[in-house]
């Protein structure tokens, strides 16, 4: 189990499996009610990822099963706050005013400079959160590889490979059902932000890892994912032109969130 390049090839397959969702993201069906359903499923997948990452770190935080390790808990809380506040600051940076708007007008510092900047910023934030989560997956894979745990390795590889396939939908979700441009190059870049940290985490886990490192990066991932879920929920339940339309849309969102969570659970359990 000492072949580093074989290890990196398998780690790359795990991280880059996120690109398998690209054809569906660009499908013509990813509009209208399908867009609403896919956005809701993306929220469900992110909620599952929150639970999944915490389940990985909880044995370190609670080594006896019910009494928390104080040092690790403080590190976890601090990293969570850092990730959440950092994304809040990035998400609320003043936007450059469009041409023709004077500096004194309200929209100069509060509105995006073009209709695409909002979805792009949200997609980047989601990609960063997923990237942090995938970094911890790479760490886990690297640690098990060096331990020579063949049975665990097979389960970890298949589970992470399938789970990463679903992670393209949350990243693409800000663009679905909107007129925002989503070129293949830009989307590929966002997918790389989400998938490449798997390779970095794998390389680190192959040579070195410790519990504090895992706690910090798991907390950063949880803080980032928790932040991006909130605006996605706000958009998902935005009032429509009529009460009947809102009710129908809400029903679809509830169903999509449930199915997205179930999908994440099933692929992780395979």
Phi/psi of residue 66, nearest 5 degrees: -145, -15
CA distance 267 to 270: 5
Residues 6+ apart with CB under 8 A from 194: 18, 126, 127, 130, 131, 134, 167, 168, 171
Distances in Å between the alpha carbon of 160 and those of 4, 62, 90, 176, 230?
A: 19, 24, 29, 25, 25
User: 0.85 exceeded by the pTM?
Assistant: no
What secondary structure letter does DSSP report for 239? -
CA distance 257 to 41: 5
| pLDDT averaged per 10 residues, the chain (length 270) | 81 92 78 77 89 89 87 95 89 61 41 53 86 87 78 74 84 77 86 93 87 89 88 83 88 92 80
CA distance 43 to 135: 20
pLDDT of residue 111: 38
pLDDT of residue 82: 95
pLDDT of residue 161: 84
Task: Please give the full DSSP string across 80-114, using - where no structure is assigned.
Answer: HHHHHHHHHHHHTSPPPPPTT--TTSTHHHHS-SS
Sign of the CA dihedral with 99 first, then 109, 229, and 236 last: negative
């Amino acid at each position: 189990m000492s072949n580093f390049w074989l290890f990196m090839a398998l780690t790359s397959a795990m991280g880059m499996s996120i690109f398998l969702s690209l054809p569906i993201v660009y499908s013509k069906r990813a509009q209208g009610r399908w867009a609403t359903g896919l956005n809701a499923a993306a929220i469900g997948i992110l909620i599952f990822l929150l639970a999944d990452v915490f389940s990985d770190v909880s044995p370190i935080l609670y080594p006896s099963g019910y009494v928390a390790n104080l040092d690790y808990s403080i590190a976890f809380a601090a990293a969570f706050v850092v990730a959440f506040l950092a994304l809040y600051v990035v998400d609320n940076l003043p936007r450059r005013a469009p041409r023709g708007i004077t500096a004194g007008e309200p929209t100069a510092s509060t509105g995006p400079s073009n209709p695409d900047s909002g979805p792009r910023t949200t997609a980047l934030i989601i990609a960063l959160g997923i990237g942090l989560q995938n970094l911890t997956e790479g760490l886990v894979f690297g640690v098990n590889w060096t331990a020579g745990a063949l049975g665990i390795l097979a389960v970890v590889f298949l589970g992470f490979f399938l789970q990463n396939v679903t992670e393209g939908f949350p990243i693409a979700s800000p663009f679905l059902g909107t007129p925002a441009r989503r070129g293949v190059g830009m989307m590929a870049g966002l997918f790389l932000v989400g998938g490449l940290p798997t390779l970095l985490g794998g390389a680190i886990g192959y040579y070195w890892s410790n519990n504090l490192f895992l706690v910090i990066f798991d907390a950063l991932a949880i803080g980032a994912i928790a932040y991006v879920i909130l605006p996605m929920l706000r958009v998902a339940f935005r009032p429509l032109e009529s009460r009947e339309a809102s009710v129908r849309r809400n029903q679809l969102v509830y169903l999509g969130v449930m199915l997205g969570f179930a999908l994440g659970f099933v692929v992780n359990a395979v």
